[in-house]
């Protein structure tokens, strides 16, 4: 059974963090059990619910769906974690902006334009994604490590080729 961490009811405009097996999916609560979220264009709403493919998709469509259907067997929590640093827009403005986007196809990029960016843009008027920042940091670390290993490999190769 899906549940929120505190078992509190989400309010319109709340950010909903859904815990998938390999990543977090984000949605914005509209009210009456409905959320708005991004799902891959090439999947049906039902198939997109827990698909890892959504992370690698290049296009997404804005869908209004029941929170319980999107969460499925996963867990979720209300997570307005950026409220300390960003002022939320008026709930009526958040909902109006969200409703205008339902059915629209948008470009999707894990690092620059993902589901967290989408819902924070609706809530704050600014796209923010800690998940993307962590991913960029991890990619940078791997790239730096690979560069270091290739330099070390080059140095070791040179020293092994010396005749003395």
At residue 124, the pLDDT reads: 96
Would you say residue 163 lies in a domain? no
| CA separation for the pair 103, 126 (Å, rounded) | 21
pLDDT in tens, 115-156: 999 999 999 999 888 764 444 444 444 444 455 555 555 555
List, in sequence order, the alpha helices (H) in 25-124.
45-48, 53-56, 67-71, 91-101, 115-124
Would you say residue 117 lies in a domain? yes
Helix (H) or strand (E) holding 131: helix 130-160
At residue 75, the pLDDT reads: 97
Would you say residue 86 lies in a domain? yes
Question: Pick from 148, 7, 36: which is nearest to 100 by CA?
Answer: 36
Q: What one-character DSSP code corresponds to residue 8?
A: P
Question: Once rounded to an integer, what is the mean pLDDT over residues 50-71?
Answer: 78
Instruction: Report the 10 Å Cβ neighbour count for 77.
Output: 19
Domain extent at residue 50: 14-135
Check pLDDT > 50 for residue 70. yes
Would you say residue 107 lies in a domain? yes
Higher pLDDT: 16 or 23? It is 16
The mean of the pLDDT values for the chain is: 78
At residue 8, the pLDDT reads: 87
Higher pLDDT: 59 or 53? It is 59
Question: Once rounded to an integer, what is the mean pLDDT over residues 153-161?
Answer: 52
CATH number at residue 112: 3.90.1720.10
At residue 84, the pLDDT reads: 94
Bridge-based pairing state of the strands 34-40 and 24-31: antiparallel
Query: Total domain count for the chain?
Result: 1
Catalytic positions, written as ranges: 25, 115
State the Cα angle at 39 between 41 and 132, rounded to 5°: 115
Would you say residue 45 lies in a domain? yes
At residue 114, the pLDDT reads: 87
Would you say residue 66 lies in a domain? yes
Would you say residue 148 lies in a domain? no
Would you say residue 69 lies in a domain? yes
């Amino acid at each position: 059974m899906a549940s929120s961490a505190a078992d509190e009811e989400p309010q319109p405009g709340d950010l909903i963090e859904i815990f998938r097996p390999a990543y977090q999916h984000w949605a914005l609560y509209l009210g009456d059990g409905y959320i708005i979220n991004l799902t891959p264009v090439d999947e049906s709403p039902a198939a997109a619910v827990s698909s890892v493919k959504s992370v690698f998709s290049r296009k997404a469509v804005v869908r209004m769906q029941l929170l319980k259907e999107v969460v499925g067997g996963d867990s979720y929590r209300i997570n307005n974690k950026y409220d300390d640093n960003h002022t939320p827009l008026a709930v009526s403005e958040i909902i109006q902006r969200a409703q205008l986007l339902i059915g629209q196809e948008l470009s999707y990029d894990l690092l620059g334009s993902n589901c967290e960016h989408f819902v924070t843009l609706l809530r704050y008027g600014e796209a923010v994604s800690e998940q993307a920042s962590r991913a960029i940091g991890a990619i940078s670390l791997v790239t730096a490590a690979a560069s270091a290993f290739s330099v070390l490999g080059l140095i070791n190769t040179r020293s092994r080729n010396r005749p003395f």
